[in-house]
Structure 1
Amino acid sequence: MADVVDAVGAQRIAAELLAEGERNGGVPCVLVGEPEDHGRWWVQGYQSRAFMEEGDIMQALAGNGPFAIPKDGSPPFRLGSAEPADIQLARIRERE
């Protein structure tokens, strides 16, 4: 099956998730870097807008894992922050 979500689409999906969080009272955030290709998923990081624009470490998010965006169009999900994305995604592959 061909991928339906490319890197640009993954960024769009992640940006929409951040906007939804902000509309629901969350901290304003921005995407950080480009989506990383992890086989079946794109992984996209994010950080608080205040930290990225002002550099104030007290405004930085802590414990925020990146988004995993399936290339097949399945719903995105968040990864944890305690382990690298590739380890977490490998565990998901093993369970399938």
Structure 2
Amino acid sequence: MSARTVAEARRVVNASLQESTAEDGIERVVLGDPVESGRYWVFFYQGREYVESGDLDSLLVGNTPIVVPKDGGASFALPSVRDVDAQIRALASEDSPTGPATA
């Protein structure tokens, strides 16, 4: 399988966010460009209403970035029990494309 481009990864994330919207009715949008972390693209997102209005009542809380493997593997969300920045750094040095360690 060929390497996934950032544009392809963005389509994967947008599809995932659309699925979430279908489940709960809260529209989500990707925030800026992804972070490139080794063999992964890391995307941050937030609720569209909050992004457009700044209304704190619309802020999504507890959402964690979506990680898209460049090798075409399944996307996943980072666990919320660990520091997100530390997890992104760990992804950059990870040997396994199956996702971050959650221990």
When the two structures are superposed, what TM-score results if normalisation uses the length of structure 2? 0.78
Structure 1 ranges of 4+ moved more than 3 A: none
8 Å CA contact 1:43–1:68 kept in 2: the answer is: yes
- Which residue does the alignment assign to 1:84? 84
Over the matched positions of the two proteins, sequence identity in percent amounts to: 34
CA RMSD of aligned residues (A): 2.1
Cα distance in 2 for residues equivalent to 1:64 and 1:79: 9
Matched, 1:72 2:71: yes
Q: Show the 5 A alignment for 1:1-96.
A: 2-3=2-3, 5-81=4-80, 82-85=82-85, 87-89=86-88, 90=90, 93=94, 96=96
Unmatched runs of 5 consecutive residues or more in structure 2: 97-103
Which SS does the other structure have where 2:44 is aligned?
Answer: strand
Unmatched runs of 5 consecutive residues or more in structure 1: none
Deviation of residue 80 (structure 1)? Answer: 3.2
8 Å CA contact 2:64–2:84 kept in 1: the answer is: no
Deviation of residue 2 (structure 1)? Answer: 5.0
Greater Cα offset, 67-76 or 23-32: 23-32
When the two structures are superposed, what TM-score results if normalisation uses the length of structure 1? 0.83
| Number of aligned residues | 93
Which structure shows the higher strand fraction? 1
Deviations 1:49-96 (CA, angstroms, capped at 9, x unpaired): 1101111011111111000000000000001344134x22527927x4
